[in-house]
Chain A
Amino acid sequence: MNAITRLLLFAILFSCLPLVAIADEGVDFRRVALTLSEDGRILLDAEIVYDLNETVAEALENGVPLTFETHVQMRRAEAWIWESDVVEHRLRTVLRFRPLSGLYELRNLSGDEQLSFATRAAALGALGRIVGMPIVARDDLDLDQDYLVQVDVRLDIEALPLPMRPMAYLDGDWSLSSEPWEWRLRP
């Protein structure tokens, strides 16, 4: 079985997985997919819908930077609770409004990538698009093992300006997070 055939099988397998669109508060997974790249890496593609409530939107319009974190975690399916993750990625992106330019700015904290958007919707759309995020090389996995992959997204309250944190912890409007998106994988 050559690599292309395996890639196709993987693509079919993961595409058949039920799409999860379970929202907790304001964050939905519209589509999530794992694909195997040609170089043997498992990639994550996701489309996430952010629906900011009035409180969070008001804070954004008033210059408060919002940090969103996409957390990707892979564990052995039979792992004990103290066993460390096989892979863990945290994709942190800051969204803020620039009053001088009137643009919404997205900055990837890990890659130092920065994008500007004329509208909030465009900025949130870009924020929610994850394309080809490398998770792990397939060769690093045990082919006889099942793995659990979990993805969740949340607004990082700890990254808010310090005076806002206590209230943000107490105010449910600031609890922006998705339900964990989880599935079993055998590489």
Chain B
Amino acid sequence: MRHWRVDALAAAMLVVLLLASLHMISAAVQRSEELGQWFIPLLLFTVVGLVLLFALVGWNLGQLLRDYRRRVAGSRLSARLSVLFLVLALLPVSVVYFYSIRFLSSGIDSWFDLQVDSAMEDALSLSKLSLDLHKLERLKLSENLLNSVEDSSQTAVALSIDGLRETAGASEMSLFDVQGKVLAVSHANPEFLAPTPPDGGMVQQVVGGENYVGVANGPDGRLVVRCLVLDKAQRGLVLQALYPVPQSLSELSASVQEAYEAYRTRAYMRGQIKFSFALSLSLVLLLGLFAAAWAAVFTARRLVQPISAIAEGTRAVAEGDYSKQLPQPKVEDELGLLVSSFNAMTRRIARAHNALQENRRKLQTQHSYLETVLRGLSTGVMALDAEGRIQTANRAADQILGVELGDLEGESMNVLAELSESLQPFVERIVEGFARGVREGRAEITLYRGGGRQVLLCRHSPLETEADAPPGHVLVFDDVTELVKAQRDAAWGEVARRLAHEIKNPLTPIQLSAERLRRKYLDKMPPDDGEVLDRATHTIVQQVEAMKAMVNDFSDYAKPTKLQLKSLEVDPFLAEVAALYEGGTQHLTMALDVPGMVVEADPVRLRQVLHNLIKNGLEAAGRDGHITISSHGGEEEGRDYVEIAVNDDGPGFDPDLIRQVFEPYVTNKTKGTGLGLAIVKRIVAEHGGIIRAENDSDGGGRVVLRLPAIGSTHTGEPSVQGGRA
């Protein structure tokens, strides 16, 4: 603002000074006698002032151009307004200037027409004629006066000069010799002792024989007739007489001469007068133009300044600076109202923004808190939108599902199944629930993963996000594999413990009683009866033994085991176990394909598992049957595993029971406790593995157990292929 004021003050002062200067130039032209000496200095001052004003205008225009090129807010509008104002000022001023110059030129020309020229010449000629008559008369008088002096000596003539002057009525009379030496002087005013010297040319003319007569201005401004006559009496004398022209004739002639001189001088100066007027008018025009240009730029910039400020403010707000406040214009007009409204708006926006920031900060805090909580949860949490697309998931969900869910944001749940086939049941169940429109639900889903069986306990509930948007879903799932297993083990252990307790206790008395009966009465009974007794007691003892064995199995199953884990190389271990069956009637074939692969297992328990499976296989294959023990490795979800399979060429599993063969008391054998495969499964589970039973398409059954591999000592040895009988 200070800059504007200084600029305006400087320009206004300059314009005022220039106006004063132009006014004084005008005064100098009108009163040239008094102020003429100031004309040129004022002219120079005006030119310098105009140059300064031009520089000021140029500087302002330069600033405007610079702002325009830099696309400063408001510069375009300023430029347009400036040009508009300038054109509006330029057009009328130019028209006035053009016609003023024309009128001036024609007006000055009209001063000097032919008639006035002719009249002035005529007036001068008339005055000359009138004066010529007077001059001739005075010349004649002077000649007669000189001739009337009859004394031949110069001295006599000199002595009579006063009389001659008085006789002739001359104001001055003097006598010279032909060399111009003054011989005598007579003046009407006795104070004048020296004669008015004649021009050398005049004297020469007279000496040459032609008397001189002329009119000149006297010291008092009155015209005088100067006569120079040569003495005809050959006395070598020249008489000069100055006669005052009669007052009336002198005044009239002087007036005519003055008017003629003035007219002739003006006529001569016509061009200069036009030039002076044109110069003055041009200076006025330039002052007007420069002042108008400066005023145009200044006014445009001042007018646009609040708009520029608003544009700047708007830009600042758009860039996020909500604290922007514009200086309030002093003038209370519409622009001032606009500025105050803008300031009020930015204040409100700033308040709202601050509140928003505060809310966002709180929200972020809550979000961080929630994230921390979710991250710390061992429960998997997954948020899905209404279409079942994954929105977010916590780390536990990644760990439980074995998938980086963060990479799958926005993807459908089906992508999970594509990434990992083992997640298919999980995905199907969830998607099916969504398809059925289930809003809330709970389910236990069992997955068969590379690392074994996995039981997930899933809960599903709607997730309200936005008021008018369909609700999404939130899935919460826990890996309850261990829990389920522990529960089941605990349940079966309890059953087994009770069975052992309830059954085992009476068995020993029964057995002892039967042995005692046999011992006491066998010898005393007749042979036939004795044979019956012997067979009966033998049967009782045998069955009691069988029951004891069964109860012991139960005890084994119920007994909590403590694994002695070691690193076992699978293939040698299988070969070692299989070696125990050499020499049997059945064929046993080895197909080992995981050389060097190592699992972490309790060798006793794993041997028990293998014996159980081989024994089951041999039983299923019959006397001439054929079983195959094979091993192969694989990788699922980044984890290596080893699969050990025992195939037999028996009838295979009953398709109706194949899913429950590992449950206790599920068997298709005529003898046995039905706990063999249950114990096998439990041991495999305790090793973190899974087991499955299946039938070959070409007949025969197969039990496959999968154990997680912990490494390999692979040396590139070929796989073992061989058979034993």
Please encode chain B, from 202 to 225, with 1 for each CB lying within 8 Å of some chain A CB and 0 for all others. Answer: 100100000010111101000100
A166 touches B268 (CB 8 A): no
Q: Counting chain B CB atoms within 10 Å of each CB, which of A98, A103, A162, A167 scores highest?
A: A162
Check A100 against B215 for contact (C-beta < 8 Å): yes
**Cα-based distance from A167 to B275 in the complex (angstroms):** 8
- Whether A100 touches B276, Cβ cut-off 8 Å, given contacts A62-B265, A62-B267, is no
Query: Which residues of the other chain, A, contact B215 by a CB distance below 8 angstroms?
Result: 100-101, 103
**Which residues of chain A have C-beta atoms less than 8 A from B267's C-beta?**
62
Name the CB-closest residue of B to A101.
B215
Say which residue of B128, B201, B272, B279 sits within 8 Å of A100 (CB atoms): B128
30 A-B residue pairs with Cβ-Cβ distance under 8 Å, sorted by A, are A62-B265, A63-B262, A63-B265, A64-B265, A64-B269, A98-B216, A98-B217, A98-B257, A98-B261, A99-B124, A99-B257, A100-B128, A100-B131, A100-B256, A102-B214, A103-B215, A116-B199, A116-B217, A118-B199, A118-B212, A118-B214, A119-B199, A122-B200, A122-B201, A162-B29, A162-B36, A163-B273, A164-B269, A167-B275, A169-B40
Interface status of B264 (Cβ within 8 A of chain A):
yes
In the bound complex, CA of A117 to CA of B226 (Å): 12
Beyond the given A98-B217, A114-B217, A161-B265, could you list 5 further A-B residue pairs with CB under 8 A, ordered by the A residue number? A59-B268, A62-B265, A63-B265, A158-B36, A163-B269
Q: Is the CB of B272 within 8 A of A99?
A: no
Within 8 Å of chain B (Cβ to Cβ): is A58?
yes
Report chain B residues within 8 Å CB of A101.
Answer: 214-217, 223
The complex places the Cα of A64 from the Cα of B265 at a distance, in Å, of: 6
Complex-state Cα separation, A175 to B508, whole angstroms:
160
Interface of A is mostly: mixed
Residues of A within 8 A of B212 (CB): 118
User: Is B268's CB under 8 angstroms from A99's CB?
Assistant: no
Q: How far is the CB of A28 from chain B (nearest CB, A)?
A: 21
B219 partner, pick from A58, A63, A114, A167, beta carbons under 8 A: A114
In the complex, chain B residues whose CB is within 8 Å of the CB of A163: 29, 269, 272-273, 275-276
* CB–CB A167/B272 < 8 A: yes
CB distance from A159 to the nearest CB of B (A): 9
- Chain B min CB distance to A57 (Å): 12
Q: Tell me, yes or no, whether B39 is within 8 Å of chain A by CB.
A: yes
A119 to B204, CA, bound (A): 12
Contact status A118-B269, CB under 8 Å: no
The answer to whether B260 and A164 touch across the interface, beta carbons within 8 angstroms, is no
A115 within 8 A of B: yes
Q: Does B94 have its Cβ within 8 Å of any Cβ on chain A?
A: no
**Given A100-B128, A105-B216, A122-B199; A62-B28 close (CB under 8 Å):** no
Give per-residue flags for A107-147: 1 if the beta carbon is below 8 A from chain B beta carbons, else 0.
00000101111110010000000000000000000000000
> Does the CB pair B124–A162 fall under 8 Å?
no
- Of the candidates B199, B215, B264, the one having the most CB atoms from chain A within 10 angstroms of its own CB is B199
Evaluate contact between A119 and B201: CB separation under 8 angstroms: yes
Q: Please determine whether A63 and B264 come into contact, CB atoms closer than 8 angstroms.
A: yes
B713 interfacial by beta-carbon distance below 8 Å: no
Is the C-beta of B343 less than 8 angstroms from some C-beta in chain A? no
Identify the closest chain A residue to B256 (Cβ).
Answer: A100
Question: Is B197's beta carbon under 8 Å from chain A?
Answer: yes
A165 contacts chain B at the CB level, 8 A cutoff: yes
Q: Mark B20-64, 1 if CB is under 8 A from A, else 0.
A: 000000001100100011011001000000000000000000000
What's the interface size class on B, roughly? 35 or more
Q: A126 → chain B, closest Cβ, in Å?
A: 8
Inter-chain CA distance A64–B271, complex, in Å, is 14
Q: How far is the CA of A99 from the CA of B262 in the complex (A)?
A: 11
The 5 closest A-B pairs by CB, nearest first: A62-B268, A100-B257, A116-B216, A162-B32, A63-B261
Report how far A102 CA is from B128 CA in the complex, Å. Answer: 10
Count class of interface residues, chain A: 20 to 34
Number of A-B contacts (CB under 8 A): 99
| A interface residues, Cβ below 8 angstroms from B | 58-59, 62-64, 98-103, 105, 112, 114-119, 122, 158, 161-167, 169
Instruction: Say whether A166 contacts B214, CB under 8 Å.
Output: no
On chain B, the residues within 8 Å of A158 by CB distance are 36-37, 40
Are A99 and B264 neighbours in the complex by a CB distance under 8 Å? yes
Q: Does B628 contact A (CB under 8 A)?
A: no
With beta carbons under 8 angstroms apart, the residue of A59, A98, A162 that contacts B39 is: A162
A119→B198 CA distance, assembly (Å):
12
In the bound complex, CA of A158 to CA of B39 (Å): 9
B253 at the interface (CB under 8 A from A): yes
**Contact bitstring B240-267, A, C-beta under 8 A = 1, else 0:** 0000000000000100110011101101
Once the chains bind, are A115 and B197 in contact (CB under 8 Å)? yes
- A167-B215 Cα distance, complex, nearest whole Å: 34
**C-beta contact mask, B585-598 vs A, less than 8 Å → 1, else 0?**
00000000000000
Complex Cα–Cα for A122 and B271 (A) = 30
Asked whether A117 lies within 8 Å of B199 as measured between CB atoms, the reply is yes
**What is the bound-complex CA distance between A161 and B202, given in angstroms?**
31
Distance of A166 Cα from B43 Cα, bound (Å): 9
Query: Which residues does chain A contribute within 8 Å of B346, judged by CB atoms?
Result: none
> With A and B bound together, what is the CA distance between A63 and B201 in angstroms?
22
- Closest CB-CB distance, A21 to chain B, in whole Å? 23
With an 8 A cutoff between CB atoms, is B127 at the interface? yes
Do the beta carbons of A161 and B124 come within 8 Å of each other? no
A63, A114, A122 interface centre (most CB from chain B within 10 Å): A63
Residues of the A chain whose Cβ atoms lie less than 8 Å from the Cβ of B216: 98, 101, 103, 105, 116
Closest partner residue, chain B, to A65 (CB atom): B265
Q: How long is the Cα–Cα vector from A117 to B272 in the complex, in angstroms?
A: 29
Give CA–CA (A166, B124) in the complex, Å: 31
Nearest A residue to B260, CB-CB: A99
What is the CA–CA distance of A158 and B127 in the complex, to the nearest angstrom? 32
**Which of chain A's residues has its CB closest to B215's CB?**
A101
- In the complex, how many angstroms separate the beta carbon of A102 from the nearest chain B beta carbon? 7
State in angstroms the CA–CA spacing of A102 and B279 once bound together. 35
Tell me which residues across on chain B come within 8 A of A58, comparing CB atoms: 268
> Cβ of A122: which chain B residues have Cβ within 8 Å of it?
199-201
| Alpha-carbon separation in the docked complex, A166 to B28 (Å) | 13
The smallest C-beta distance from A94 to any residue of chain B, in angstroms, reads: 12
What is the bound-complex CA distance between A62 and B481, given in angstroms?
133
The answer to whether B268 and A63 have CB atoms under 8 Å apart is yes
Q: Give the residues in chain B near A164, CB-CB below 8 Å.
A: 269, 272
- Which chain B positions have C-beta within 8 A of A118? 199, 201-202, 205, 212, 214
Highest count of chain A CB atoms <10 Å: which of B200, B264, B269, B275: B269
Q: Which residue of A is nearest B44, CB measured?
A: A169
Q: What residues of B have a CB within 8 angstroms of the CB of A105 in the complex? A: 216-217
